[in-house]
Amino acid sequence: MSAEMSTAPTVERKQKFTAKVIKTTLAGAIVDIGLEQPSIIHISQLSSEPIKRVEDAVKVGDELEVWVRRVDERNNRIELTTIEPLAMEWRDIQEGTKVSGNVTRIENYGVFIEIGAERPGMAHVSELAHDYVRNPSDILKVGEEVEAKVIGVNRRKKQIKLSIKALHEVPQEEEEEDEEDVKPAPTAMEIALRKAMDDDAEADEVPDVDEVDEDEVEVEVETHRQDAEDILARTLENRRS
Domain definitions of the chain by residue range: 3-81, 90-167
Q: Which residue has the higher pLDDT, 97 or 195?
A: 97
Would the pLDDT of 211 be above 50? no
**pLDDT of 112-143, one tens digit each?**
999 999 999 999 999 999 999 999 999 999 99
**pLDDT band of 200, cuts 50, 70, 90:** low
Please give the pLDDT value at position 77: 87
Domain 90-167 sits in CATH at 2.40.50.140
Domains 3-81 and 90-167 in one fold? yes
Ramachandran assignment for 135, one of left (phi > 0), alpha (psi -120 to 50 degrees), beta (any other): beta
Per DSSP, the three-state class of 36 is coil
Q: Count CA within 13 A, CB hemisphere, residue 31.
A: 30
**pLDDT band of 46, cuts 50, 70, 90:** very high
CATH number (2.140.10.10, 2.40.50.140, 3.40.640.10, 3.60.15.10) of 3-81 reads 2.40.50.140
